[in-house]
């Protein structure tokens, strides 16, 4: 297996995690900037302009050729998730490792993530999960933890590739899940309950939650679930019981 280079490029934008807080999540983002260099500079900028618009960082940035930039020590808190929620927890910077993936994003020509980048993410995530004993259901997208506010890494990110290599979960629905899917699609209350059980924020509109779920599990930008995607929700919801 090819090993991708790791370049140390320290960011000053971090602080200490709250004492005793376990590191139990990985949150994937896209950079949403026109070039990798521009993104790297933004993630490491603590100048006056950055202070005005908000200093940001991540623990790692993965370029399209697979090169990994190590920006913040894993034991420190990087500033990547912002206002966030998952399974009753807020301020997920406290408990997560943030990985930025170089991609121009929806504003600058969003495109699929190249194979070398995906392979590098797998290698990096495998080592992080091993070090911190992170459960695979806690490998999340920014849009999962901040629906409506964020949409990265987006519907073109290949979650299936990661899941096939043991990173994250892409559930395979069983026959019972298709029965549940039909129920979800005819009962907004049941659909909302299932999404909340998985981990999504109960305070947000159902359309935003569906869109976030589609970004991760449906490879679409739709605010409505298909029958197949609703079955995936059922399978995932059963794991959360």
Catalytic residues: 100
| Non-local CB neighbours of 52 within 8 Å, separated by 6+ positions | none
Nearest to 91, CA basis, from 27, 39, 41, 40: 27
Token pair belonging to 82:
């912002």
Query: What is the helix (H) or strand (E) element at residue 231, kind and residue range?
Result: helix 227-239
Contacts of 117 (CB under 8 A, 6+ apart): 62, 63, 64, 65, 66, 101, 102
| Paired residues of 6 in beta bridges | 68
Q: How many CB atoms lie within 10 A of CB 108?
A: 14
């Amino acid at each position: 297996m090819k090993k991708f280079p790791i370049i140390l490029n320290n960011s000053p934008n971090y602080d200490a995690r709250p004492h005793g807080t376990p590191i139990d999540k990985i949150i994937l983002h896209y950079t949403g900037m026109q070039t990798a260099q521009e993104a790297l500079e933004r993630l490491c900028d603590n100048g006056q302009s950055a202070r005005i618009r908000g200093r940001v960082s991540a623990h790692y940035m993965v370029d399209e050729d697979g090169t990994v930039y190590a920006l913040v020590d894993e034991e420190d808190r990087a500033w990547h998730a912002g206002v966030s929620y998952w399974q009753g927890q807020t301020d997920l910077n406290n408990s997560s490792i943030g990985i930025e993936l170089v991609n121009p994003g929806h504003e600058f020509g969003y495109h699929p993530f190249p194979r070398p980048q995906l392979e590098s993410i797998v290698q990096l995530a495998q080592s992080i999960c091993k070090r911190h004993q992170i459960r695979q259901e806690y490998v999340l997208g920014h849009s999962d933890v901040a629906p409506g506010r964020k949409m990265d890494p987006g519907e073109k990110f290949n979650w299936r590739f990661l899941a096939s290599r043991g990173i994250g979960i892409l559930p395979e629905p069983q026959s019972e899940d298709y029965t549940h899917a039909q129920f979800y699609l005819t009962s907004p209350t049941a659909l909302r309950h299932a999404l909340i059980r998985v981990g999504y924020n109960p305070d947000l509109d159902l359309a935003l939650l569906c869109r976030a779920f589609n970004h991760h599990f449906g490879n679409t930008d739709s605010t409505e679930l298909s029958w197949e995607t609703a079955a995936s929700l059922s399978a995932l919801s059963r794991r959360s019981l």
